[in-house]
Amino acid sequence: MKDVVVKLIAEEVDFDICEIEGLLEVPPRSEMGDYAFPCFGLAKTLKKSPGVIAGDLALTFVKVLPKEIERVEASGAYVNFFIDKGIFARKVLGKDYGKKVLKNGKRIVIDMSSPNIAKPFGIGHLRSTIIGNSIARICEANGFEVVKINYLGDWGTQFGKIICAWKKWGSEEKLESDAIGHLQELYVRINATDEFDDECRLEFKKLESGDFENLALWKRFREMSLVKFQKIYDLLGISFDEVSGESLYNDKMDAVIFELKEKGLLIEDAGARIVDLDDVGLGKVLIQKSDGTSLYATRDLAMALDRKKVYDFDRAIYEVGAEQTLHFRQVFGILKKMGYAWADDLVHAAHGLYLDSDGKKFSTRRGKTVYMEDVLGEVVEKARGNLEARGDCDNLDERARRIALAAIFYGDLKNNREHNMVFDVDRFLSFEGDTGPYLLYSYARASSILRKIKFESKRQDIKYKDFGDLEFALIKKIDLFDNVVVKAYEDLSPNLIANYCFELAKDFNEFYHGCPVLGGESEAFRLEIVEVFRVVIKKGLDLLGIETLEEM
RNA sequence: GCUCCCGUAACUCAGCCUGGAUAGAGUGCUAGCCUUCUAAGCUAGAAGCCGCAGGUUCAAAUCCUGCCGGGAGCGCCA
């Protein structure tokens, strides 16, 4: 429909097609039309006021209106176009929104979730998990093959600390009853003092050089953590194509350091080895500590090199918190310096932090943590309570779970990915208004209507005419879906999908109240709207990782 | 000290990349709507120097500069 308007304008105005497309906008309110062409830009060349130009253009267009456009009006400096609703409705509702996406032959690997072993699964990793999952689905919807990797934080000096603390104060009994809780407790305790720092570094050094006892401890802590994490992933309904971790690259570190040396990038500095990125404003990056052990950046370099070799990706996305922005810039910068052009295909899709009520970042180092199990459990309980109050108790567990997840996923994804946000359990505990449950509810209402009638037998009765603003608004919203999916990929922004789903559901609920579907003249037409809405919102929610419910 | 991000209604946030018509939503508040498809819903209302000051532009919440306030990061943590 937009093309028709653009073509019409192109015949009268001396701009090329792309220019006109860029200028054409959607008016702020529907009474003003469906498309608007601003005439400010023409004022200089035509030496007339924008208002006059708009008036003249409108008069010209009226004489040559194609059938797709119902009427044209000048309003201020704008020429407003009103499209033919019937033609538009037939076109929009006739599309197959549920069809399978054609593969574009390109591959994306995405690092997501990445919790740290021996620490509680925190709120920040929840963000990475939920956003990463959604980004993966959005990529798939845009034709990419996606490999989801859970890249565990399972190596590094902190394990020297934990091992050291365990040897001093560890309790077998506490470890068996609550492994992560106990290890966390030990970690906080040893961080409270710098007294044992040398000892801790030594324990890590032993671990990295394969000390039997330390390796066995590390393996045990890792296993225990993974069991716990898996429970959370099962509840979230999120899985990975690969569970990897920093420890995997332990034996590839020497090769990286060798290559950096070969390429003349490694510099001795105060006994340690660094890469200097001052020339690109990224400072000096520590690659090898003076005791010879590796660092985060070293491991990430090895990992990126290995990833490229194993997956030969077209793009690699790191869904990691914004506090690591500098780190990723440095890693990408070093790869670039090493001569790898594909470093440009690496992207850090940073997410903002959850701040506590004081406006400060949550930090496990300071022992401040929100326990994911508690939050999830509380939300599921609330959902279950609501369902029970409604008196319908079939399949209670699964329905409560889906409602809770909708609340949590949507509560996170509706926000701009890169912005910080205040953590508040009430955000997830609210099921009314702009929330996940509202979206599920809208879907369930649509399903409920379609359950009551055999739509197939009515299909030939559809008349695409004589419908009102409520139907039209909903159809126009449906029409935007495909563009939103593309844009969400370009920006790697699930919140565009989330915001769209809410607007779509809102339009549907307004339609639902104002337009009785069953019985009456336009039953078949309205049924088709309901059916298409149902497909589109299901698809949208699917891109957010949210499963729908037929009944609520 | 240096770098990056944020500042929009009482609260939580969209919108900013790509400038356009009266700046949006949800919550909360006020007043209505269940003998017809699910009230986790709908309708109406009150509520905004879009942090401040300059600049660019026909036009700035949006772009540029400075300032103020908050956050994050800055070689032997990840």
Q: For residue A168, give the CATH number of its domain.
A: 3.40.50.620
In a domain, residue A267? The reply is no
pLDDT bin (cut points 50, 70, 90) of residue A358 is confident
Residue A387 CB closer than 7 angstroms to strand B?
yes
Residue A368 reports pLDDT greater than 70: no
What CA–CA distance (Å, rounded) separates A538 from A547? 8
pLDDT at A394: 83
Residue numbers in A 68-127, CB below 7 Å of strand B: 75-78, 80, 116
Asked whether residue A351 falls in the same domain as residue A396, the answer is no
The C1' atom of B28 and the CA atom of A433 lie apart, in whole Å, by 12
Place of tokens 């020297």: A160
The C1' atom of B71 and the CA atom of A128 lie apart, in whole Å, by 19
pLDDT at A437: 97
For A150, residues 6+ apart whose C-beta sits below 8 A from its C-beta are A112, A113, A114, A240, A242, A243, A244
In a domain, residue A121? The reply is yes
Residue A271 CB closer than 7 angstroms to strand B?
yes
If one counts the domains in chain A, the total is 3
In a domain, residue A415? The reply is yes
Average pLDDT over residues A509-514: 96
Asked whether residue A334 falls in the same domain as residue A454, the answer is no
pLDDT bin (cut points 50, 70, 90) of residue A132 is very high
Residue A50 CB closer than 7 angstroms to strand B?
yes
Task: State whether residue A492 is helix, strand or coil.
Answer: coil
Average pLDDT over residues A411-431: 93
Asked whether residue A70 falls in the same domain as residue A135, the answer is no
pTM strictly above 0.90: yes
Residue numbers in A 392-451, CB below 7 Å of strand B: 403, 414-416, 418-422, 424, 427, 430-435, 437-438, 441, 444-445, 447-449
- Which one, of A353, A255, A318, A296, lies nearest residue A159 by Cα? A296
The C1' atom of B44 and the CA atom of A128 lie apart, in whole Å, by 41
Average pLDDT over residues A418-422: 92
Contact A182, A171 (CB under 8 A): yes
Compute CA distances A132 → A138, A260, A413, A547, whole Å: 10, 31, 10, 16
pLDDT at A115: 95
Quote the crossing angle between the two packed helices A436-451 and A396-413, to the nearest 10°: 130
In a domain, residue A102? The reply is no
Of A49, A83, A117, which residue sits at a domain end? A83
The C1' atom of B27 and the CA atom of A498 lie apart, in whole Å, by 18
Residue A366 reports pLDDT greater than 70: no
What CATH number corresponds to the domain at position A14? Answer: 3.30.1360.70
The C1' atom of B74 and the CA atom of A198 lie apart, in whole Å, by 24
Asked whether residue A158 falls in the same domain as residue A239, the answer is yes
Residue type, A26: V
For A294, residues 6+ apart whose C-beta sits below 8 A from its C-beta are A208, A250, A253, A288
Q: Strand B nucleotides below 7 A of a protein CB?
A: 3-6, 12-18, 20-22, 24-28, 36-43, 58-59, 70-78
Give the nucleotide with minimal C1' distance to the Cα of A322. Answer: B72
**Per-residue tokens: A430:** 């609210």
Of A310, A329, A355, which residue sits at a domain end? A355
The C1' atom of B18 and the CA atom of A452 lie apart, in whole Å, by 46
Average pLDDT over residues A299-314: 96
The C1' atom of B56 and the CA atom of A330 lie apart, in whole Å, by 35
Residue A29 CB closer than 7 angstroms to strand B?
yes
What CA–CA distance (Å, rounded) separates A176 from A103? 47
**How much of chain A exceeds pLDDT 70, in percent?**
99
What CATH number corresponds to the domain at position A466? Answer: 1.10.730.10
pLDDT per residue as tens digits for the range A318-357: 999 999 999 999 999 999 999 999 999 999 999 999 888 7
Asked whether residue A68 falls in the same domain as residue A123, the answer is no
Residue A302 reports pLDDT greater than 60: yes
**How much of chain A exceeds pLDDT 90, in percent?**
81
pLDDT at A454: 85
pLDDT per residue as tens digits for the range A107-121: 999 999 999 999 889
Average pLDDT over residues A31-46: 92
Residue A355 CB closer than 7 angstroms to strand B?
yes
In a domain, residue A179? The reply is yes
Asked whether residue A26 falls in the same domain as residue A74, the answer is yes
pLDDT per residue as tens digits for the range A453-494: 988 888 888 899 889 999 999 999 999 999 999 999 999 999
Give the nucleotide with minimal C1' distance to the Cα of A441. Answer: B40
Asked whether residue A205 falls in the same domain as residue A62, the answer is no
pLDDT per residue as tens digits for the range A205-246: 999 899 999 999 999 999 999 999 999 999 999 999 999 999
Provide the pairing of β-strand A315-318 with A107-112: parallel
Give the nucleotide with minimal C1' distance to the Cα of A399. Answer: B40
- Residues constituting chain A: 552
Average pLDDT over residues A404-421: 96
Give the nucleotide with minimal C1' distance to the Cα of A33. Answer: B21
For A167, residues 6+ apart whose C-beta sits below 8 A from its C-beta are A203
Asked whether residue A223 falls in the same domain as residue A331, the answer is yes
In a domain, residue A518? The reply is yes
Asked whether residue A418 falls in the same domain as residue A514, the answer is yes
Higher-scoring residue by pLDDT: A393, A57: A57
In a domain, residue A111? The reply is yes
Q: What value does the mean pLDDT of chain A take?
A: 93
Asked whether residue A39 falls in the same domain as residue A171, the answer is no
Asked whether residue A61 falls in the same domain as residue A157, the answer is no
Structural domain for A153, as ranges: 107-251+301-355
Asked whether residue A329 falls in the same domain as residue A241, the answer is yes
Compute CA distances A189 → A164, A165, A361, A372, whole Å: 11, 8, 20, 22
Residue A370 reports pLDDT greater than 90: no
Average pLDDT over residues A514-532: 93
In a domain, residue A204? The reply is yes
The C1' atom of B55 and the CA atom of A50 lie apart, in whole Å, by 25
Q: What is the CA radius of gyration of chain A?
A: 29
Residue A191 reports pLDDT greater than 90: no
Asked if this assembly's ipTM is beyond 0.95, the reply is yes
Contact A408, A379 (CB under 8 A): yes
Q: Residue-wise over A438-467: b if at least 16 C-beta within 10 A, else e?
A: bbbbbbbbbbebbeebeeeeeeeebebeeb
What CA–CA distance (Å, rounded) separates A3 from A484? 18
Average pLDDT over residues A188-195: 87
pLDDT bin (cut points 50, 70, 90) of residue A363 is low
